């Protein structure tokens, strides 16, 4: 992985290659079309992060807690129209309270500006395009408050814009398809495309990228994405943010990462490998994951965040009593 010696990183340090990693498969072929299997979920080996909250936070005592979250499916529900994935007022209040007490970052596949527009909080760090567009954490900005940004794929922008225009032309007649420009990632949503047309849509997207080895395709929940083929993912973004916050070499840091998407698995892997935090997957069904704990849906994420904020306040109260 590239060393973060400065904010201007030479793209030659990144290896450009296709990623042929096999996608982790859930127990069901189409999770979005299945109702939660209560019995299967109950037998899942990943305990509830809510039920295990006290156990998790026992490890956090005396450490600096850092919070990382995905957006869609974690802070907001998955919806038919990606432009309407609004966060609830309750979630915003809880997130604001958590961010007041812990360094908090959102690492999303959407564009950084779009996530910030949804969240509407200034005390949160935003990383868009699966970590390819990272704003500086609030405490790391200059004296004028300028955000700045780390963009390891900046040189790919002209080609990305060209691909976006070609995709618009290719799939414009496919009913229900929607292209979302996420700056360094082009997302083609097909949740509203008739099932019989989805295979043809995917082939059209593949045809645009097949002769461009500097780009690759990844799939998420009813979405296929075009991304630069550089070796950079949400796990790298997590490491970069920890470094920027001054925690890269600290042994008293505990990271909490909550996410529901396949791309979050890269961040789960980093935290699990370091054994300095807890990866938490959001899923209403059992599935293969590198996470250690689980939450069923955004409503349980909300409950977890509320408990986290309350826990920190109680710790502060105990410290004050001890001091007195």
Catalytic residues: 70
Same fold, 62-137+232-322 and 154-228: no
**Selection from 309, 267, 307 nearest residue 289 by Cα:** 267
- Check if the beta carbon of residue 149 is closer than 8 Å to that of residue 185: no
Question: Which strands make up the sheet holding 253-259, listed edge to edge?
Answer: 149-150, 133-135, 125-128, 104-107, 64-69, 253-259, 277-282, 293-295
pLDDT in tens, 198-225: 999 999 999 999 999 999 999 888 999 9
User: Both tokens of residue 176?
Assistant: 């229900």
The dotted CATH code for 154-228 is 3.30.70.1020
pLDDT in tens, 34-92: 344 556 555 556 899 999 999 999 999 889 999 999 999 999 999 988 899 999 999 99
Quick one: pLDDT at residue 316? 58
The helices-and-strands tally (H runs, E runs) of the chain is: 9, 12
pLDDT at 287 over 80: yes
What is the overall mean pLDDT for the chain?
A: 83
Residue appearing with tokens 């990632």? 185
For the chain, the structural domain boundaries read: 62-137+232-322, 154-228
User: Both tokens of residue 302?
Assistant: 């909300």
Mean pLDDT of 299-319: 83
Quick one: pLDDT at residue 285? 87
**Selection from 182, 44, 166, 165 nearest residue 112 by Cα:** 182
Class of domain 62-137+232-322: alpha beta
**pTM, entire model:** 0.82
């Amino acid at each position: 992985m590239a060393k973060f010696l400065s904010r201007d990183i030479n793209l030659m340090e990144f290896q450009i290659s296709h990623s042929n990693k096999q996608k982790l498969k859930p127990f069901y072929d189409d999770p979005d079309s299945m109702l939660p299997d209560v019995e299967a979920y109950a037998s899942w080996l990943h305990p509830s992060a809510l039920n295990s909250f006290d156990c998790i936070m026992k490890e956090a005592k005396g450490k600096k807690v850092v919070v990382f979250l995905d957006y869609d499916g974690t802070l907001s529900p998955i919806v038919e129209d990606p432009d309407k994935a609004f966060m609830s007022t309750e979630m915003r209040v809880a997130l604001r309270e958590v961010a007041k007490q812990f360094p908090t970052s959102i690492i999303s596949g959407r564009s950084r500006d779009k996530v910030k527009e949804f969240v509407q909080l200034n005390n949160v760090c935003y990383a868009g395009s699966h970590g390819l567009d990272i704003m500086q954490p609030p405490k790391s900005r200059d004296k004028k408050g300028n955000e700045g940004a780390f963009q390891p794929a900046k040189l790919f922008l002209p080609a990305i814009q060209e691909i976006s225009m070609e995709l618009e032309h290719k799939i414009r007649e496919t009913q229900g398809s929607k292209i979302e420009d996420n700056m360094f990632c082009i997302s083609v949503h097909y949740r509203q495309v008739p099932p019989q047309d989805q295979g043809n849509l995917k082939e059209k997207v593949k045809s645009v990228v097949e002769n461009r080895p500097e780009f690759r395709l990844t799939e998420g929940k009813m979405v296929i994405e075009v991304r630069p083929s550089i070796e950079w993912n949400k796990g790298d973004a997590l490491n970069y943010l920890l470094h920027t916050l001054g925690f890269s070499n600290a042994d008293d840091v505990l990271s909490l990462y909550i996410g529901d998407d396949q791309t979050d698995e890269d961040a789960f892997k980093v935290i699990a490998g370091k054994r300095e935090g807890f990866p938490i997957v959001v899923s209403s069904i059992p599935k293969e994951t590198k996470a250690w704990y689980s939450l069923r849906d955004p409503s349980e994420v909300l409950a977890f965040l509320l408990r986290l904020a309350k826990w920190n306040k109680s710790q502060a109260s105990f410290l004050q009593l001890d001091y007195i």
